[in-house]
Structure 1
Amino acid sequence: MKNIRIAVLSAILLAGISCKKEDSKVTANPEAKTENPVSNQKIVSISGGVTEIVAALGHEKEIVGIDVTSTYPESLKATAKDLGHVRSMTIEPLLALNPTLILASDKDINQDLLAKIKSSGVKSELFQQEFTIDGTKKLINQVAKALGNTNQQELYDKIDADLKQLQPIAKKPKVLFIYARGNMLMVAGKNTPMANIIEIAGGQNSANDFEDFKPLTPEAVVQSNPDVLLFFTSGLQGSGGVDGALKMPGVSQTNAGKNKKVIALDGGLMSSFGPRVGEAAVSLNKLLIESTK
């Protein structure tokens, strides 16, 4: 079961995720400067969420290497070398880029790579990524400090402005997130990133009798009885669209199945918990409101 959980979390990180409760809040600095600093850094960023922050802070052109979860901004595909997944990444291709700064998240990085990065002599920062709104702001602050940047305020403001667009939902719909990739079908329980974004968007996670992710079974789906099924866009497409989702085990016996309530969002947007986290919450909020009509 442990191996299954690691596999699904790693796979979901292709769009970027995991979960940890935030203990402290970040206070924005109203006097923060807004100019983009000029730098000659050569950055390797091996975390999708961290990469988004680096780019949003004005340092995209300094990124020379990324991991497979770094899918946004898309322009990086043409300018930065894809080093693969941090679980299987080796140090040699990374150091061949002659980086001056290596940035990484503690999620899923293999310990051999981490040890070699620390002993390489290259300046590096390892961040604890916490998939909440406050956790995102904390990560932005930490990445900005590592870059010698003072543009955090702009990103805090964007998140706050986006979140103000959330509309209340009178009766919170029960939402079941299904991760579908190939023959793998997993559902998200409590204390997962997907449960977090569902709740931020105004819904409630329907699978709260277990933690993390577990294989989809008819019993689990029926027991959770969701009002709405939520997928990554790619996962829904690969499952045969809405019709395919409605044929999944147990779905026809749920409110979602009976009412054909199936929604999907871009995986990178929904799971990165970077500067676009408010944007993701608002997009999901709109879909949930539509699903209640």
Structure 2
Amino acid sequence: MNFTGIRRAILFFAVALLLVMNASAQQAAKRIVSLNGAITEIVCALGFEKAIAGVDVTSTYPASMNQVPKVGHNRNISAEPVLALQPDLILATDNFIQPSVIEQFKAVGVKTVQVKQEFSIDGTKKLITAIAAALNVPAKGAELCKQLDKEKQSLQVKQQSKKVLFIYARGAGTMMVAGKETPLDKIITLAGAQNAAGSFNDFKPLTPEALVTANPDVILMFEDGLKSMGGIDGLLKVQGIPQTTAGKQKKVIVMDGQLLTGFGPRVVQAVKELSGKLNS
């Protein structure tokens, strides 16, 4: 080999090495901050649990996330606590984080990926695909989606006429009901029942008049929400509830909040659990 050939070989080797190093760097985000509970579950399911440096307070699953630094609720995230964790990748949905906060992340050069979250099983698959792409593991994302399809195929939901009212509570002083276009409305429908508060969108304060009008057959709550009320006995002291069918029969279903509303990889499990409790 002549001198020119040697130079070309060295140059080719150097370029190949650089490409390999860049690919390796792209594949392995070493410090991830997740600002959504469903995203956190997906990141862990894709094998990046140990790379998570911080999460928002909705990230409660898997249990190991309780040991990870919290940066606030995804509805009121500020840039400072997130950037203090020195992330090299920030993952969030596009429905809560303020645009000005996202701009702060990008201004300091931190890779920030926002993805759309749709509250459906197909929406969960889209979310998985987007996060897998951000982590440069599309094959793992496809495998997780395939697993979700398999779970969906085995899901058997009995359609019924029961009216379900979801009540968000933080003690008797803070009580809201979930209308249409909310994760609660979607999960109730997927479980085969009807949202008793289907006459409005989003969340509204709970009133005795609204309770009597809705007259739910079942009241659905987060576990910690019912606990904040002092259990079912405390809930039955709320004006209007004893007059509903659910109140008279003490038909109250409680579930883990993140499981019920997260629409992450456990979404089929959530539908199955809620459907089972509605039929028990």
TM-score by length of 2: 0.84
Structure-2 residue corresponding to 1:179: 168
1:83 and 1:93 in contact (8 A); partners too: yes
Partners of 1:166 and 1:285 within 8 A in 2: no
1 or 2 for the larger relative contact order (CA 8 Å, sep ≥6)? 1
Q: Does 1:197 align with 2:187?
A: yes
Residue 126 of structure 2: aligned partner:
138
Go from structure 1 to structure 2 and tell me whether the alpha carbon gap of 1:219 and 1:55 turns closer, same or farther (over 3 Å shift).
same
Instruction: Look up the SS of the partner of 1:148 in the other structure.
Output: coil
Secondary structure of 2:48 counterpart: helix
1:154 aligns with 2:154: no
Structure 2 segments unaligned to the other structure (5+ residues): 1-25
Q: Indicate which of 202, 222, 237 corresponds to 1:247.
A: 237
SS at match of 2:166: strand
In 2: Cα distance, 1:86 partner to 1:228 partner: 29
Change (3 A) 1:208 1:91: closer
Cα deviation, 1:167-193, whole Å, max 9, x if unaligned, reads 443533110001111311111111211
The CA deviation at 1:55 is: 0.6
Structure 1 residue 162 displacement after superposition? 3.3
1:286 pairs with 2:276:
yes
The answer to whether residue 255 in structure 2 is matched with residue 259 in structure 1 is no
SS of equivalent to 1:126: strand
Q: Is the 8 A contact 1:233 1:267 kept in 2?
A: yes
> Cα gap change, 1:233/1:86 in structure 2, threshold over 3 Å: closer, same or farther?
closer
Aligned residue pairs total: 253
Counterparts of 1:51-200 in structure 2, within 5 Å, are: 51-78=40-67, 80-149=68-137, 150-169=139-158, 171-182=160-171, 183-200=173-190
- Partners of 1:209 and 1:216 in 2: how far apart? 14
Structure 1 residues 67-105: Cα deviation after superposition (integer angstroms, max 9, x where no partner): 122111120232x32112344433333233332211111
- Residue-by-residue CA offset, 1:229-270 (whole Å, 9 max, x unaligned): 100011111112122222322122221122221111011111
More displaced 10-residue stretch of structure 1: 85-94 or 248-257: 85-94
Amino acid at match of 1:224: A
- Does the C-alpha gap of structure 1 residues 121 and 240 become closer, same or farther in structure 2, counting only changes over 3 Å? same
Q: State the partner residue of 1:227.
A: 217
Q: Which has the larger radius of gyration?
A: 2
- Letter matched to residue 269 of structure 1: L
1:38 Cα deviation after fit: 7.2
Residue identity matched to 2:192: G
Letter in 1 for 2:158: I
Distance 2:255 2:62 in 1: 17
Percent same amino acid at aligned positions? 51
TM-score of the superposed pair, with normalisation by structure 1: 0.81
AA at the equivalent of 2:34? S
Whole-angstrom CA distance in 2 between matches of 1:59 and 1:215: 39
* CA RMSD across the alignment: 1.9
Against the structure 1 CA distance between its residues 77 and 38, is the aligned structure 2 distance closer, same or farther, given a 3 Å change threshold? farther
Secondary structure, aligned partner of 2:197: coil
Q: Larger % of helix: which? A: 2
Unaligned runs of 5+ in 1: 1-36
Q: Deviations over 1:94-134 (max 9, x none)?
A: 23333221111122212331110121212110112111111
Find the aligned partners of 1:189 and 1:58 in 2 and give their Cα distance.
36
